[in-house]
Amino acid sequence: MLSQKQFLNAYCYLNGFDDFDANKWNSFVRVLRENSLVASFYHRLERSNQLYCIPEYCEDMFLSAINFANAQVIQTEVQGKKLIRLFNAIDIPFVFLKGAAYILGSKRNSMGRLMTDIDICVEKENIDKAEEALLGAGWSFKNMDEHDDKYYREWSHEIPPLKHDNEGVVLDVHHTLIPPIKGRLLDIHALIHSSESDSDFSSTIPSRAWLVLHSALHLILNEDVKNGLRDLTDIFVLLYGEGSASENVAETEALFIKEGFEQEWIVLSLLLEDFFNTEIGSEHASANLSLYIRMRHFILRKAIVPNSSFIQSDGRWLWDSVNYVLGYCSKMPLHILFKQVTYKTYRNLIKLAFGEYFFRKPKPKRNGL
Amino acid sequence: MTIAIDSGPYTFSIKGLSAPVVSELSNLYLERLTPEKDGFYDFSLSIENTSPLRRFFRRQRIISVEGVKPFNPISDQHLLPSIEWAMNWAVAAYQHTKLSLHSSVVVKNGKAILFPASSGSGKSTLATYLGYSGWQMFSDEMALIDPNTLEVSPLYRPASLKNKSIDVISTLCENVNLSNITRGTHKGDIAHARLYTCQQFGHFVPSKPKFVVFPRYVPHKETTIRMISSVESFAMLLRNAFNYNIMGKQGFSALSEISSSCQAMQIEYSDAHDLDDYLSGLVE
Amino acid sequence: MLDSESSEAFTVFEDGSGIALLKSDYSSVVLITSAIEKEFPTLHRLLSSDEPSRCKIKSELLAQGFFSVDYSY
């Protein structure tokens, strides 16, 4: 088992491997694997010319992850081209978000980056047309219960996730980056027309600043930070991994402020300072910060560290629970929050009594494993 | 209890086992099963409870593989085959430096025969019988092929027998080491057969495939062989390749080479002994 | 044999039974010589010749769109 400090020293600072014996390497790669960080960590280590740190007994694990990630790049490019052709045919501008955007925009943090689905964003007035086109092109809605379907359509105002019948790819179509909250609407038109990429997918990749904003809002305003360290790493590499860091930071900070997320920028700065020792957090460290900022920063700093049996925990369940509540509170009106909490509480009580997998649908019988 | 299993190319750490299950696994893995000690393991599994109440009432367990829970919960009685399936899943899901095929593999005179086929085809039964009868059974379930050398790796894993094949092997293979039968799994009744001691397994060396055989058991059928072309062989191997789409050009190249260099055939049979004679003749 | 340098990967099996090709999305197409005479006569003729020309086969595969990931076979 690793202490939190040992894990973060190795993962964030790429340091401390001299003290790693086989047991520590075992714990470290277990955490990486649980959080789909094996391949991306390998590339970060490669960029810092430290691949020699990886012992021979771990090499196969890293190479396997690299092969998997490379195959995902291929699949993403193929799907990306198909989606561009589809949306061009119906004249709907859109952008890719998160993992797909990083890969198709050839961003440095795309190297080894895994994802479970493709995210795109269209403007609100185009969402119905987008849905119709996708359903006509072999996409269908993933199975979900009535509550979740209602959650997507009525609360999130987006269509539920789609899956391609032949190709098994999952697609999330958004028309905003966060659920609409009074006074906090993003300029999606600006997002969709912000592209600065020169890759083959140029017009469909948001600017670096928008990519960071989206990832940060996902991290800070979400109730679930299971991928929090991955998201924070994405942001760190986007800002500091290529181009001029000072320009990247300045442009991104300007966007956060313009879109009304100055507090979230401060939280993000503090987190980047905590985990990656950047300097942008230092100017806020001594400032008179609001309770909201201090609370979010404190909780996220605890909750972002991966929850793993291979890392010593300090009441981890508590931080996850608090973050869960704060995350919901920050993005939902009270009446929706009440309904959601009631529903989730009911389900959790049932799972407590009858097992975590009470609601899991039985898998169909199939050949193979 | 936490144990370690050394299957040859890969090591597994498995946490959360009860003493009876460890005892059953020990019978199958012998000295290759040890109490877990500090060190690096290729794959990590843990057996967990699904809820506090279900620890005491209608006890239910769930297997976590590297933090992922790919299978539905199971009762304690179904743990042994579920652990074996979870170990297979771990290799198929995370191992991508070798091409993995859904296939049995047997070797004689340094020549490997692949039996690619889906579950229920009888490949495990056939491989177990051959392994008992003088062949080296490298695996009853998964062929791991080095894409550079095309050598198949031997795996120290028990053969998994289902339903009628348990009786077939018990009859054909006198005194074979069989585990207890686990009844009522989603695949029916399951038992596991250990064919070799660790010392015997120590003589297994990675071997190149020379033949690809697609077997089909047909009651009362005289052994009938149909040679198949390279392209048909490729198509059928493709159908049974787990990580082909991840291995990309390497996987394509390996399958092409195997299809080109190995004689492929479909065999319908009812007499395993007769089939054994035929296959032994191929590898002389 | 496989031409590992080319971005279009395909194998012409020496027993004349057909070809397999790898598309850019890592899916594969398998063509059996005896089964394609009617639909792809040129390709069939090329594969059936005594010494199939990889260059000509590749041109025909490209012309027929076999490497295109949009085409399902």
Which residues on C lie below 8 Å from A166 (Cβ)? 72
Whether residue C31 lies inside any domain: the answer is yes
Q: Is the pLDDT of residue A363 over 60?
A: no
CB A10 within 8 A of CB A53: no
Q: Is the pLDDT of residue A342 over 90?
A: no
Averaged pLDDT, A217-245: 91
Per-residue model confidence (pLDDT) at position A369: 39
Whether residue C51 lies inside any domain: the answer is yes
| Same domain for B31 and B128 | no
Give the closest-approach CA distance of C22 to chain A in angstroms.
Answer: 13
Confidence of residue C72 (pLDDT cuts 50, 70, 90): low
| Same domain for B228 and B145 | yes
3-class SS of residue A17: helix
Facing B231 at nearest CB: one of C2, C4, C13: C13
| Same domain for B173 and B52 | no
Asked whether the CA dihedral B238, B244, B249, B255 is positive or negative, the reply is negative
Q: Distance (Å, rounded) from C-alpha A139 to C-alpha A173?
A: 12
Cα dist from C54 to B257, B261, C39, C42, C66, whole Å: 17, 19, 20, 13, 15
Whether residue C43 lies inside any domain: the answer is yes
Whether residue C70 lies inside any domain: the answer is no
Optimal mutation site among C26, C31, C47, interface B, most CBs of chain B within 10 A? C26
Per-residue model confidence (pLDDT) at position A21: 95
Asked whether the CA dihedral A198, A201, A203, A208 is positive or negative, the reply is negative
Task: Give the strand pairing for B43-49 and B61-65.
Answer: antiparallel
Q: How is domain A56-206 classified at the architecture level of CATH?
A: 2-Layer Sandwich (3.30)
Q: Is the pLDDT of residue A365 over 60?
A: no
DSSP track, B194-240: E---HHHHTT---B-EEEEEEEEE-TTPPPEEEEE-HHHHHHHHHHT
CB A226 within 8 A of CB A234: no
Q: Distance (Å, rounded) from C-alpha B23 to C-alpha B33?
A: 10
Facing A75 at nearest CB: one of C25, C70, C72: C25
Per-residue model confidence (pLDDT) at position C68: 81
Q: Distance (Å, rounded) from C-alpha A291 to C-alpha A87?
A: 44
Alpha helix segments (H runs only) across A116-172 = 127-136, 146-150
Q: E strands along A142-190, which residues?
A: 162-164, 170-174
Q: Distance (Å, rounded) from C-alpha A298 to C-alpha A293?
A: 8
CB B25 within 8 A of CB B57: no
Which residues on B lie below 8 Å from A365 (Cβ)? 186
Which residues on A lie below 8 Å from C69 (Cβ)? 78, 82
Per-residue model confidence (pLDDT) at position A282: 60
Q: Distance (Å, rounded) from C-alpha A229 to C-alpha B251?
A: 33
Cα dist from B278 to A186, A281, B218, B273, whole Å: 72, 74, 17, 9
| Same domain for B254 and B186 | yes
- Higher-confidence residue: B207 or A341? B207
Per-residue model confidence (pLDDT) at position C5: 44
Which residues on B lie below 8 Å from A64 (Cβ)? 94-97
Domain residue ranges of chain A, discontinuous segments joined by +: 56-206
Whether residue C57 lies inside any domain: the answer is yes
Averaged pLDDT, A104-132: 93
Whether residue C42 lies inside any domain: the answer is yes
Number of H helices and E strands in chain C, helices first, is: 2, 3
Averaged pLDDT, A227-233: 94
| Same domain for B255 and B116 | yes
Task: Look at A367 and B245 and tell me if their CB atoms are within 8 Å.
Answer: no
Compare all CA atoms of chain A with the CA of C69 and give the residue at the minimum distance. Answer: A78
How do residues B37-95 score in pLDDT, each as one tens digit?
A: 899 999 999 999 887 777 777 788 999 999 999 999 998 889 999 999 999 999 999 99
Optimal mutation site among B99, B230, B243, interface C, most CBs of chain C within 10 A? B230
Q: Which two tokens stand for residue A97?
A: 């978000």
Q: Find the range with the poorest average confidence among A124-133, A290-299, B124-133, B134-143.
A: A290-299
Q: Is the pLDDT of residue A131 over 70?
A: yes
Amino acid at site A19: D
> Of B67, B94, B121, which closes a domain?
B94
Task: Look at A367 and B118 and tell me if their CB atoms are within 8 Å.
Answer: yes
Domain span at residue B219 reads 99-282
Give percent of chain A with pLDDT exceeding 70. 84
> Of B43, B59, B94, which closes a domain?
B94
Task: Look at C18 and B238 and tell me if their CB atoms are within 8 Å.
Answer: no
Q: Distance (Å, rounded) from C-alpha B189 to C-alpha B265?
A: 30
Per-residue model confidence (pLDDT) at position A183: 62
Q: Is the pLDDT of residue A185 over 60?
A: yes
Compare all CA atoms of chain A with the CA of B90 and give the residue at the minimum distance. Answer: A369
CA dihedral A22→A23→A24→A26, nearest 10 degrees, is: 80
Which residues on A lie below 8 Å from B66 (Cβ)? 30, 33-34
Q: Find the range with the poorest average confidence among A73-82, A234-243, C62-71.
A: C62-71
Confidence of residue C2 (pLDDT cuts 50, 70, 90): very low
Whether residue C26 lies inside any domain: the answer is yes
Q: Distance (Å, rounded) from C-alpha A179 to C-alpha A261?
A: 14
CA dihedral A270→A252→A320→A183, nearest 10 degrees, is: 110
Give CA A297 to chain center in angstroms: 18
Per-residue model confidence (pLDDT) at position A150: 63
A206-210 long-range contacts, CB within 8 A, separation 24+: A206/A95, A206/A96, A206/A97, A206/A101, A207/A251, A208/A107, A208/A238, A208/A239, A208/A243, A208/A248, A208/A251, A208/A252, A209/A248, A209/A251, A209/A252, A209/A254, A209/A255, A210/A255
Averaged pLDDT, A264-283: 87
| Same domain for B106 and B86 | no
Give the closest-approach CA distance of C4 to chain B in angstroms.
Answer: 8
Per-residue model confidence (pLDDT) at position A368: 38
Inform me whether the C-beta atom of residue B278 falls under 8 Å from chain A C-beta atoms: no
Confidence of residue A334 (pLDDT cuts 50, 70, 90): low
Q: Is the pLDDT of residue A329 over 80?
A: no
Q: E strands along chain A, which residues?
A: 94-97, 118-122, 139-141, 162-164, 170-174
3-class SS of residue A192: helix
Give the closest-approach CA distance of A78 to chain C in angstroms.
Answer: 6
Task: Look at A71 and C24 and tell me if their CB atoms are within 8 Å.
Answer: no
Confidence of residue A296 (pLDDT cuts 50, 70, 90): confident
Facing C30 at nearest CB: one of B238, B244, B257: B238
Domain span at residue C28 reads 9-63
Per-residue model confidence (pLDDT) at position A366: 43
- Which residue ranges of chain B lie beneath pLDDT 50? none
Q: Find the range with the poorest average confidence among A27-31, A113-117, A365-369, B59-63.
A: A365-369
Q: At what angle do helices B19-29 and B79-94 cross, to 10 degrees?
A: 60
How do residues A47-63 score in pLDDT, each as one tens digit?
A: 999 999 999 999 999 99
Which residues on B lie below 8 Å from C28 (Cβ)? 238, 244, 252
Task: Look at B245 and C26 and tell me if their CB atoms are within 8 Å.
Answer: yes
Give the closest-approach CA distance of A297 to chain B in angstroms.
Answer: 27
The DSSP symbol for A290 reads -
| Same domain for B121 and B89 | no
Compare all CA atoms of chain A with the CA of B53 and give the residue at the minimum distance. Answer: A353
Let me know if A286 is exposed, middle or buried by CB neighbors in 10 A (0-12, 13-18, 19+). exposed
| Same domain for B272 and B230 | yes
Instruction: Please give the mean pLDDT across all residues of chain A.
Output: 86
- Please measure the distance between the N-terminal and C-terminal CA atoms of chain B and give it in whole angstroms: 46
Query: Residue A316 — φ and ψ, nearest 5°?
Result: -55, -40
Task: Look at A71 and B72 and tell me if their CB atoms are within 8 Å.
Answer: no
| Same domain for B159 and B84 | no
Inform me whether the C-beta atom of residue B153 falls under 8 Å from chain A C-beta atoms: no
Q: Is the pLDDT of residue A181 over 70?
A: no
Count of domains observed in chain C: 1
Cα dist from C47 to B258, C19, C37, whole Å: 20, 8, 10
Inform me whether the C-beta atom of residue C13 falls under 8 Å from chain B C-beta atoms: yes
| Binding-face residues of C in 6-25 toward A, CB within 8 A | 24-25
Which residues on B lie below 8 Å from C5 (Cβ)? none
Q: Distance (Å, rounded) from C-alpha B200 to C-alpha B136?
A: 9
Amino acid at site B165: S
Amino acid at site B153: S
Per-residue model confidence (pLDDT) at position A195: 85
| Same domain for B263 and B242 | yes
